[in-house]
Amino acid sequence: MQTILVTGGAGFIGSNFIYYMLGTHDDVRIVNLDALTYAGNLENLRGVELDPRYTFVRGDVRDKAAVDAVFDAYGVDTVVHFAAESHVDRSITNPEIFLSTNILGTGVLLESAKRHWNLRPDDKYCREYRAGVRYLQVSTDEVYGALGKTGMFTEATPLSPNSPYSASKTSADLLVRAYGETYGLPVNITRCSNNYGPYQFPEKLIPLMIRNCLLGKPLPVYGDGMQVRDWLHVRDHCAAIDTVLRKGRVGDVYNVGGNNEKANIEIVRLVLAATGRDESLIRHVQDRPGHDRRYAIDNTKITTELGWAPAYTFERGMSETVQWYLDNTAWVERVVSGEYQNYYDTMYGNV
């Protein structure tokens, strides 16, 4: 039985990943370590909380004692590190927490993994590890910076982050690389494009636009709305991470994209059409400072070497996603009001 420490499993991608793994494999155990920040919502995991293969631990990845205790108690042999401050706009107004969570948190996890998995942890020359262990860092295409009208990010593209968020993610990636190079820790990094799907916090473009359409509120489009993102369905992202865990070459970076480049304004128009609203709701507002103009992922490495490919067409993914938010307006409103935080107290008392 593989025991996977999933950090940030109460967030958007982490919760989808837990469903994916428990639904796809019989022989995995998941320990979800999450601090339950504003973005973490245990309600997302209602469908697995009675599964004996699933355990939730409330804790902060920056807390060395808490992380060590999870390794000790559960015999973790795989780490998938999602926990992060993830919203670019928040990083522009309050960068400090991004440095702390995204960089220091990654450092704590790497050190704990090394000490628990290395066969002689007090010998700095020892590069031997328990069989089958793996540390996977969930990173982002934003570490590569911005593209012009043409070109795509490959794994060889130089790192050139532009926001405090992406700079913190880049720093974390460099730490992961350093633990691989210096200590021989078996690591991988995945760098994916913009995810969409169920359980995304409604501060991000797609759920925010859907909610505003349903409420008849204005749709804030930054600048001219011609910035391009490469949209990846969250379930395809989860499948890609699973593929890298099983087949990825130790030490390698894998880019993951959906082959779906869309300008923001196209996304907004799609949401308007899907919710029966018209363009009078669109408001062009002041642009995000340092706004990256275009992202696009070259998937060649993961598709040719590991055999992963996105299964969702954008049309199917968007139609299911809009429907999910229409069916789950109560979830959205609880998240927006912060009310979901009460759920934790009701479910778990003072755990």
Q: 19, 135, 165, 196: which is the annotated catalytic residue?
A: 165
Which does residue 175 bind out of ligand NAD, ligand DAU, none, counting CB within 5 to 8 angstroms by kind?
none
Helix 314-327 to helix 205-215 angle, to the nearest 10 degrees? 50
The distance of closest approach from Cβ of residue 251 to ligand DAU in the complex, given in angstroms and rounded to an integer, is 22
Residue (28 or 39) nearer to ligand DAU, CB: 39
CA distance 15 to 19: 6
Q: 142, 230, 242, 298: which is the annotated catalytic residue?
A: 142
* Structural tokens at position 63: 């807390």
The distance of closest approach from Cβ of residue 126 to ligand NAD in the complex, given in angstroms and rounded to an integer, is 29
DSSP H or E run through 54:
strand 54-58
User: What Rg do the C-alpha atoms of the chain give, in angstroms?
Assistant: 20
Residues 131-150 that bind ligand NAD (CB under 6 A): 138, 140
* Active-site annotation holds for 142: yes
* Active-site annotation holds for 165: yes
For ligand NAD, which residue of 10, 221, 241, 297 counts as binding (CB under 6 A)?
10
Strands 282-285 and 2-7: unpaired
Q: 141, 173, 230, 242: which is the annotated catalytic residue?
A: 141
Residues 76-115 that bind ligand NAD (CB under 6 A): 82-84, 86, 101, 105
* Active-site annotation holds for 68: no
When CB distances to ligand NAD are compared, the closest residue is 11
The distance of closest approach from Cβ of residue 140 to ligand DAU in the complex, given in angstroms and rounded to an integer, is 3
261 contacts ligand NAD (rule: CB under 6 A): no
With b for 16 or more beta-carbon neighbours within 10 A and e for fewer, the 44-73 pattern comes to bbeebeeeebbbbbbbbbbeeebbeebbee
325 phi/psi in degrees, rounded to 5: -70, -35
